[in-house]
Amino acid sequence: MIDINLIRENRELVRENIKKKFQDEKLPLVDEIYELDVRFREAKSNADNLRSEKNKLSDKIGSLMREGKKDEAAQVRIDISKIDDDIEEYEKIEVGLEELIKTKMLDIPQIIDDSVPIGKDDTENVEIEKFGDPVVPNYEIPHHADIFESVSGLDKESAGRVSGNGFYYLMGDIARLHSALISYARDFMIDKGFIYCVPPFMIRSDVVSGVMSFEEMDNMMYKIEDEDLYLIGTSEHSMIGKFKGQIVKEEELPITLTSYSPCFRKEVGAHGIEERGIYRAHQFEKEEMVVLCKPEDAMDWYNKMWKFTVDFFRSLDVPVRILECCSGDLANLKVKSCDIEAWSPRQQKYFEVGSCSTLGEAQARRLGIRMKTKDGNKYVATLNNTVLATPRGLIAVIENNYQSDGSIIVPEVLVPYMGGMKVINPKK
* CA pair distance 16, 21, nearest whole angstrom: 9
* Sequence-ordered list of residues with C-beta below 8 angstroms from that of 244, at least 6 positions apart, any chain: 206, 207, 210, 367, 368, 369
Query: Are both 279 and 178 inside the same structural domain?
Result: yes
Supply the pTM of this predicted model: 0.89
Instruction: Give CA–CA dist 420/43, Å, rounded.
Output: 71
- Is 411 in the same domain as 353? yes
165 is a domain residue? yes
Verify that 172 and 311 share a domain, yes or no.
yes
Same domain, 66 and 155: no
Q: Round the CA-based radius of gyration of the chain to a whole number and report it.
A: 28
Considering only 52-66, 94-108, 287-301, which range has the smallest mean pLDDT?
Answer: 52-66
Number of domains the chain is built from: 2
Identify the domain boundary among 79, 105, 131: 105
Residues 165 and 271 in one domain: yes
Residue 289 burial (CB count, 10 A)? 27
Domain end marker among 57, 75, 105: 105
For residue 335, tell me if it sits in a domain. yes
Angle subtended at Cα 284 by Cα 282 and Cα 285, rounded to the nearest 5 degrees: 155
Q: What is the mean pLDDT of the chain?
A: 93
**116 part of a folded domain:** no
Instruction: Report the relative pairing of strands 255-264 and 195-197 from DSSP bridges.
Output: parallel
Give the CATH number, domain containing residue 8. 1.10.287.40
Q: Mean per-residue pLDDT for 239-260?
A: 96
DSSP count for the chain of H helices, then E strands? 13, 18
Residue 217 has pLDDT above 80, yes or no: no
86/300 Cα distance (integer angstroms): 51
Residues 295 and 388 in one domain: yes
Max mean pLDDT among 1-10, 182-191, 202-211, 262-271 falls in 182-191
Please check the confidence at residue 261 and state whether its pLDDT lies above 80.
yes
Q: What is the pLDDT of residue 269?
A: 57
Counted residue by residue, the chain has a size of: 428
Q: How far is CA 175 from the centre of its chain?
A: 28
The DSSP string of 247-284 is EEEGGGPPEEEEEEEEEE----SSS---SSSSSS-SEE
Q: Examine residue 117 and state whether it is found in any structural domain, yes or no.
A: no
Residues of the chain with pLDDT > 90, as a percent, come to: 82
Band of pLDDT at residue 273, cut at 50, 70 and 90 = low
Across 32-50, average pLDDT: 94
> Residue 297 belongs to a domain with what CATH number?
3.30.930.10
Mean pLDDT of 310-337: 96
Q: Examine the domain organization and report whether 36 and 138 are in the same domain.
A: no
User: Within 13 A of 29's CA, how many CA atoms are on the CB side?
Assistant: 22
DSSP 291-324: EEE-GGGHHHHHHHHHHHHHHHHHTTT--EEEEE
Residues 311 and 364 in one domain: yes
Task: Say what the pLDDT of residue 271 is.
Answer: 60
Q: Is the residue at 113 inside a domain?
A: no
Coil, helix or strand at residue 191: helix
Long-range CB pairs of 322-325 (<8 Å, 24+ gap) are 322/127, 322/128, 322/129, 322/131, 323/125, 323/126, 323/127, 323/128, 323/350, 323/352, 324/116, 324/117, 324/125, 324/126, 324/127, 324/128, 325/116, 325/122, 325/125
pLDDT at position 56 is 84
Residue 115 forms part of a structural domain: no
Residue 5's pLDDT band, with cuts at 50, 70 and 90, is very high
Domain closes at, from 105, 131, 154: 105
Any idea which of 65-69, 78-82, 213-217, 368-372 has the lowest mean pLDDT?
213-217
DSSP string across 123-190: GG-EEEEEES-----SS----HHHHHHHTT-EEHHHHHHHT-TT--EE-HHHHHHHHHHHHHHHHHHH
> How much of the chain is helix, strand and coil, in % rounded to 5?
45, 20, 30
pLDDT in tens, 324-355: 999 999 999 999 999 999 999 999 999 999 99
232 and 133 in a common domain: yes
Task: Give the three-class secondary structure for 393.
Answer: helix
Assess whether 181 and 321 both reside in one domain: yes
Euclidean distance between CA atoms 102 and 33, whole angstroms:
9
- Model confidence at 274, pLDDT cuts 50, 70, 90, reads low
Diameter of the chain measured on Cα atoms: 107
* 355 in any annotated domain: yes
First-last CA distance in the chain: 57
C-beta neighbour count of 88 within 10 angstroms:
12
Q: CB–CB of 416/187 below 8 Å? A: no
Q: 360 vs 34, 137, 252, 366, 380, CA distance in Å?
A: 22, 43, 18, 12, 8
Amino acid occupying residue 380: V
* Domain of 77, in residue numbers: 4-105
> Span 375-399, mean pLDDT?
95
Per-residue model confidence as pLDDT tens digits over 170-203: 999 999 999 999 999 999 999 999 999 999 999 9
Residue 110 lies in a domain: no
**Are 350 and 229 contained in the same domain?**
yes
Q: Are residues 303 and 225 in the same domain?
A: yes
